[in-house]
Amino acid sequence: MPEGDTLARTAAGLRPFLAGRTITAARARVPGPQVARVVGTTITEVLAIGKNLLIRLDNGLELRTHLRMRGTWHRYRPGEPWRRPASRAVLVIEVPGAVAVCFDAPVVELLETRAEALHPPLGGLGPDLLDAGFDAGEARRRLRAPERAALEIGQALLDQRALAGVGNVYKSEVLFIERVDPFARVHELDDATLERLIETSRRLLIANASRAGGPERTTTRDPHTGARLAPTALWVYGRAGRPCHRCRTSIRVAQQGTDLPRSTWWCPNCQARRL
């Protein structure tokens, strides 16, 4: 599933070609005929909030997409061949000089911007880690909420209602960097640990959201010098059975969570629980 940095980069890539331009044609699998309401409107903003991409219009409406596991946005010149079959397009927006196509996204919605606060997925989001006004104290308060006290921290970091933007890659990487056992319960961790996890999540998301099409996403650079601290771009994610870059112990992977189990990678030595 694309994480907060990917959505921020997607929005940044679409923005110069869509913002300020009038929609000349639009079609969508869902919401279907309703999407005709956007034709003739001017796009005022293209932005990412957590894992949501929003295209706001001057008539008070906005289009929301959530890419989940397989969705992606492409931009083409008018008449340019698409790199994916048209049958996989769920939303197409045409403006002078550009065509934006969303493929395979399971969520496409048309809603009123003023209704965002009442919209369950948007109104319930925690502080956005990439927001310039990010409130770390509020994120910690939400992680400390009674309903999350018994959650394993690896699950809690993925809860977009606590803090928005962390996905499976950053969950594993942040917990490794901060030497926290992914299976420790939130109530077992002190405030200083939660604050470190929040701060590191924000730092990594910002660093990767700002890279301009260069090297792959990386979490192994020194935050002060930028020097690479390991021979791979990631510390533990996707490295099950390979040696830890710190201690050479084999990295492990296990499913975590019940409603929607996700894989978690960790080093059993570096992230051993401190009792």
Give the residue numbers annotated as catalytic, written as ranges. 2-3, 51, 262
- Preceding peptide of 31 cis, ω within 30°: yes
Contact 111, 120 (CB under 8 A): no
17: left (phi over 0), alpha (psi -120 to 50) or beta: alpha
Question: Are 94 and 79 within 8 A, CB to CB?
Answer: no
Whole-Å CA distances, 165 to 10, 15, 63: 14, 19, 19
> Which amino acid would we find at residue 270?
C
Residue with tokens 């629980």: 273
The CA angle 222-227-230, to the nearest 5 degrees, is 80
Tokens found for residue 169: 């890659």
In 3D, which of 6, 89, 98 has the Cα closest to residue 43? 98
How far lies 211's CA from each of 12, 206, 215, 217, in Å? Answer: 11, 9, 8, 8
Number of residues in the chain = 275
Residue where the block lists tokens 């009674």: 146
By the 8 A CB rule, do 206 and 217 touch? no
